[in-house]
Amino acid sequence: MKVTAVLLAAGQGTRMKSALPKVLHPLCGKPMVWHVLEALKQAATETPVVVIGHGADEVKKYLGDSAACVLQEPQLGTGHAAMQAESLLKHKTDLVIVTYADMPLLRGETFARLVETQRLNPGPFSLITVFADDPHGFGRILRNADGTVSAIVEEYVATPEQQKIKELNVGAYCFNADWLWDALHRIPKNEKKGEYYLTDVVELAVKDNLPVQAVVHDDFSETIGINTRVHLAEAEAAMRMRINREHMLNGVSMTDPASTYIDAGVKIGKDTTIMPNTYLHGATEIGEGNVIGPNTIIRDSKIGNHCKVLASVLEGATLEDDVDMGPFARLRKGAHLKSHVHMGNFGEVKDSTLEEGVKMGHFSYIGNAKIGANTNIGAGTVTANYDGENKLPTEIGEDVFIGVDTMLVAPLKLGDGARTGAGAIVTKNVAEDTLVVGMPARPIKKVERRKMKAK
């Protein structure tokens, strides 16, 4: 049986007061519409159709080939919006899920339950309802004396008596496709607003003497619809707790989940502890047994196992195992710290590889460089890697000892076992096992590497 989702996303989102289309506002790092499409994957079998209108170009560009788009122009209400999918879907699907792109918390399981209900329903469609004390501006569900659903009344036209109804229309429906396309054309125009309301299909089914099935959902927090930025913040908090809970149930410790901010899609291995005020963004992957934070921001980075990252900022970086960094360290794009690297306070690394066991304790900048295993970078070392036009490389061998306050003027190579004296300004390549000092640095003697290593 073919099941296709139609997502309504053409509305302006006036109440958001934003230049960005409502459905592109992010929630835990991903646009609202991404969350809905993710959940729908659990219930639909075909490529979804998204009805776009306001900000159509931007929304379409974001969706790429994850969905087929149809334009609703002008926007004449939710019934009119659903109708735009007919040309794409007629005779191509058995069931149609229709839902709104501003309800990002609905779970895949909930949509799957809706579809299951409709499979067994002899009538033309099923819908999800929820009971709540705060009606949140939702349409109210009217039922007959025998309990069957008879209509949905929008809040602004509801009588004071109807306004008291606590059963609400969540905004997720599953239709028999053939019935839907015909019914959409029969929706009467709402004279007050000049719009066609999808919710009026309930009365059409009742007129046809066909049963409408309601799935009463018990989790109101899943049904938060976003119309304002206040709702957006509520939804973000709910989504954040959901994400954190899932990680904790998978073996991740969180000292304070309320101040732990993890984007949807971030991966974390078991026995890793996330300390408070930590932000994990984008395509970040973290292995097992790490301690991350407090006060750390990590974006699009990969971290191995048993690392410690304290009060640091990482972007586009890779850490292998047993790396110890921070507090106050910064890794930028292309920073690669291999196992057992130690990076202390106030260091910055960009587009560079630090081989195993490199130590860089204090106040250093390393850019466009390769640093060999077990090399020590003294406090205040800087790679002068930019001549105003180009970024130039620095290559440092193994077991090198860079003295404090050394300037490494690129392009430059230092052989294995080389040493620089405090304050050296190195402008020429240094041979292996050679000590250079001064400004510009000059060799003064061969050094005995083995003696140094023994320390």
Q: Which of 406, 394, 398, 392 is nearest to 436 (CA)?
A: 406
Segment near ligand UD1 (CB under 6 A); pick from 73-81, 110-118, 204-212, 322-330:
73-81
Member of 28, 43, 76, 280 binding ligand UD1 (CB under 6 A)? 76
> Of these residues, 136, 231, 342, 362, which one is catalytic?
362
CB atoms within 10 A of CB 219: 11
Residue 152 interacts with ligand UD1 (CB under 6 A)? Answer: yes
Residue 124 contact partner, candidates ligand UD1, Mg ion, none, CB within 5 to 8 A by sort of partner? none
User: Is the Cβ of residue 49 or residue 436 nearer to ligand UD1 in the bound state?
Assistant: 49
Residue 202 interacts with ligand UD1 (CB under 6 A)? Answer: no
Three-state SS for 341?
coil
> Tokens for 67?
């969905």
Residue nearest to Mg ion (CB): 225
Residue 199 interacts with ligand UD1 (CB under 6 A)? Answer: yes
Amino acid identity, residue 388?
G
Active site residue 136: no
Q: Which of 28, 67, 1, 76 is nearest to 260 (CA)?
A: 28
SS3 content of the chain, % helix, strand, coil (to 5): 25, 35, 45
Residue 378 contact partner, candidates ligand UD1, Mg ion, none, CB within 5 to 8 A by sort of partner? none
Residue 417 interacts with ligand UD1 (CB under 6 A)? Answer: no
Q: DSSP strand E in 312-411: where?
A: 313-315, 318-319, 324-325, 330-331, 336-337, 342-345, 348-350, 353-354, 359-362, 365-367, 369-371, 376-377, 382-384, 394-396, 401-402, 407-409
Residue 139 contact partner, candidates Mg ion, ligand UD1, none, CB within 5 to 8 A by sort of partner? ligand UD1
Provide the binding-site residues for Mg ion, judged by CB under 5 A. 102, 225, 227
Burial 307-327 (b: 16+ CB within 10 A, else e): bbbbbbbbbbbbbbbbbbbbe
Amino acid identity, residue 335?
A
- The DSSP letter of residue 94 is S
Region of residue 380 (left: phi > 0; alpha: psi -120 to 50; beta: else):
left
Segment near ligand UD1 (CB under 6 A); pick from 69-77, 126-134, 209-217, 276-284:
69-77
Residue 169 interacts with ligand UD1 (CB under 6 A)? Answer: yes
Mark 86-125 with x for binding to ligand UD1 (rule: CB under 6 A) and - for no binding. Answer: --------------xxxx----------------------
Taking the complex as a whole, how short is the minimal distance between the CB of residue 402 and ligand UD1, in angstroms?
58
Member of 78, 296, 352, 385 binding ligand UD1 (CB under 6 A)? 78
> Tokens for 37?
């499409």
Taking the complex as a whole, how short is the minimal distance between the CB of residue 13 and ligand UD1, in angstroms?
7
Instruction: Please report, as ranges, the residues that interact with ligand UD1 according to CB under 6 A.
Output: 8-11, 51, 53, 72, 75-78, 80-81, 100-103, 138-139, 152, 154, 168-169, 171, 197-199, 225, 227
Catalytic machinery residues: 362
